[in-house]
Amino acid sequence: MKRIITIVGARPQFIKAATLSRQFQLLGIEEKIVHTGQHFDINMSDVFFDEMEIPRPVFQLDIHGLTHGAMTGRMLEEIEKILLKEKPDGVLVYGDTNSTMAGALAASKLHIPLIHVEAGLRSYNMEMPEEITRILTDRISNFLFCPTDTAIKNLKKEGFDYFPVKIIKNGDVMQDAAIYYTAKAEKKSNILNQIGLDKYIVGTIHRQENTDSPSNLRNIIAGLNEINNQIPLVVPIHPRTRNILAQQNIQCEFKLIDPVGYFDMIMLLKNCELVVTDSGGIQKEAFFFGKHCITLREETEWVELVENGFNILAGSNPEKLKTAFELFKTKKSDFSIDLYGEGKAAEKAALEILNF
Ligand code: UDP
């Protein structure tokens, strides 16, 4: 039986891992999950394991609230111990967080085949901690599962054709999750009753380039306050952003709620008028649920959404935000184009993993 160790630690990784874990069970691949502890609140972590029926982590590292270096270093040390003991056939990492980096380094230095899911993404913005993780993790991986053609092109531009690595375009596992969990969300979520709004916009803000720059954050909130005068805005707010808003005394006139579980998020996205976010995952989820998205960043890894007119990059500029809002208020788009594999990404990846 093939034995895989999966490293997760942050909210989007739980959602991605849910899709592959289910496929591993179907194919008889043994998976043990390491939860680094990077996200640890009930509503940033436990709720996803419960709702999405992700196997409970076998190893809980409880490492959080440190600087990037300290966090990654401690995770590396602990993951190495686990890998030395477990000697798995492969280590699986997702996306672009400190947990990804620590898992990737630990595995590759022990010569354990390293599998990166959501490989090849680039923003070409080296100030993003995520971009550094993506580049380094891709370079030391043995299997790169890419969600899009752009991701494959990015790797080719960096010379990956010459490296001993297998590159596979499998699609986006987040679309698998959106498709699989929507019926469950419809049954279980009560969020629409709780917010009690017929028409609303849903938003999120947590990217470091926005939260760590008081002027960017002020500009964004000013733009969002204006939009909220026309259509009410609901923002499940990341705990870090909530703290910074309080510290900086920035007033939000729109509805702030605590982070919600995935089922609630699906329902908020499925029924909204528009999405405004700096999240990577939510830009795609807007598209999965047939919604336009204004992205509060200067660039995106998901360029196909912008190229097809589904997404506009507004950065932290309130004027651009307003212009994009006015356009999307009336725009109708056909969202039926297949950009992300139509829900087969985890199955494809798991079959490759079974047979490597
Ligand atoms: N999400 C959620 N509840 C929230 C906010 C986000 O379930 O209150 C989900 C969202 O639907 C998406 C994932 O978390 O699937 C995205 O995570 P995040 O925005 O934290 O990270 P990113 O995608 O930017 O790496």
What's the 251 CA to ligand 1 centre distance in angstroms? 23
* pLDDT at 284 (0 to 100): 98
What's the 162 CA to ligand 1 centre distance in angstroms? 35
Query: Does residue 113 line the site of ligand 1, with CB under 6 A?
Result: no
Identify whether residues 151 and 209 lie together within a single domain: no
Q: What is the CATH number of the domain that holds 221?
A: 3.40.50.2000
* pLDDT at 212 (0 to 100): 94
Nearest ligand 1 atom to alpha carbon 262: 7
Nearest ligand 1 atom to alpha carbon 174: 15
Identify whether residues 116 and 203 lie together within a single domain: no
* pLDDT at 5 (0 to 100): 98
Question: Is-above-0.85 flag for pTM?
Answer: yes
Task: Give nearest CA residue, ligand 1 atom 24.
Answer: 279
Among all residues, which ones are annotated catalytic?
A: 206
Identify whether residues 12 and 159 lie together within a single domain: yes
Query: Does residue 45 line the site of ligand 1, with CB under 6 A?
Result: no
Rounded Cα–Cα distance for residues 268 and 97 (Å): 25
Q: Report pLDDT digits (tens) over 189-230.
A: 999 999 999 999 999 999 999 999 999 999 999 999 999 999
Within 13 A of 159's CA, how many CA atoms are on the CB side? Answer: 4
> Is residue 80 situated within a structural domain?
yes
Q: Stretch 273-279: mean pLDDT, rounded?
A: 98
Confidence of residue 352 (pLDDT cuts 50, 70, 90): very high
Q: What is the mean pLDDT of the chain?
A: 97
Identify whether residues 189 and 266 lie together within a single domain: yes
> Is residue 120 situated within a structural domain?
yes
Rounded Cα–Cα distance for residues 92 and 75 (Å): 15
Task: Give nearest CA residue, ligand 1 atom 9.
Answer: 262
Confidence of residue 182 (pLDDT cuts 50, 70, 90): very high
* pLDDT at 36 (0 to 100): 98
Count of structural domains, the chain: 2
Identify whether residues 151 and 206 lie together within a single domain: no
What's the 11 CA to ligand 1 centre distance in angstroms? 6
Within 13 A of 299's CA, how many CA atoms are on the CB side? Answer: 10
What's the 44 CA to ligand 1 centre distance in angstroms? 9
Bridge partners, 235 (sequence order): 256
Q: Report pLDDT digits (tens) over 139-155.
A: 999 999 999 999 999 99
* pLDDT at 12 (0 to 100): 97
Identify whether residues 136 and 15 lie together within a single domain: yes
Query: Does residue 181 line the site of ligand 1, with CB under 6 A?
Result: no
Identify whether residues 208 and 153 lie together within a single domain: no
The distance of Cα 301 from the centroid of its chain, to the nearest Å, equals 11
> Is residue 178 situated within a structural domain?
no
* pLDDT at 349 (0 to 100): 98
What's the order of all strands across the beta sheet hosting 255-257?
255-257, 233-236, 201-204, 274-277, 293-295, 311-313
Query: Does residue 11 line the site of ligand 1, with CB under 6 A?
Result: yes
Query: Does residue 265 line the site of ligand 1, with CB under 6 A?
Result: yes
Identify whether residues 243 and 151 lie together within a single domain: no
What's the 259 CA to ligand 1 centre distance in angstroms? 9
* pLDDT at 48 (0 to 100): 97
Nearest ligand 1 atom to alpha carbon 259: 8
* pLDDT at 15 (0 to 100): 98
Ligand 1 pocket mutation, candidates 180, 181, 279, 287, criterion most atoms within 8 A of CB: 279
Q: Report pLDDT digits (tens) over 284-322.
A: 999 999 999 999 999 999 999 999 999 999 999 999 999
* pLDDT at 85 (0 to 100): 98
Percentage of the chain exceeding pLDDT 90? 99
Identify whether residues 201 and 270 lie together within a single domain: yes
> Is residue 194 situated within a structural domain?
yes
Ligand 1 pocket mutation, candidates 282, 296, 302, criterion most atoms within 8 A of CB: 282
What's the 204 CA to ligand 1 centre distance in angstroms? 8
Under a CB-based contact definition with an 8 Å cutoff, are residues 51 and 188 in contact? yes
> Is residue 177 situated within a structural domain?
no
Query: Does residue 259 line the site of ligand 1, with CB under 6 A?
Result: yes
Q: Stretch 106-135: mean pLDDT, rounded?
A: 97
Q: Which distant-in-sequence residues (6+ apart) come within 8 Å of 97 by Cβ?
A: 9, 10, 13, 38, 130, 133
Which value, in Å, is the radius of gyration of the alpha carbons in the chain? 20
* pLDDT at 99 (0 to 100): 98
The alpha carbon torsion through 54, 46, 270, 119 (nearest 10 deg) reads -60
Q: Which domain holds residue 91?
A: 3-172+341-355
* pLDDT at 238 (0 to 100): 95
Amino acid identity at 180: Y
What's the 111 CA to ligand 1 centre distance in angstroms? 32
* pLDDT at 354 (0 to 100): 97
* pLDDT at 156 (0 to 100): 98
Identify whether residues 156 and 254 lie together within a single domain: no
Identify whether residues 163 and 57 lie together within a single domain: yes
* pLDDT at 166 (0 to 100): 98
Phi, psi of 197, rounded to the nearest 5 degrees: -125, 135
Task: Give nearest CA residue, ligand 1 atom 7.
Answer: 262
Identify whether residues 255 and 158 lie together within a single domain: no
> Is residue 151 situated within a structural domain?
yes
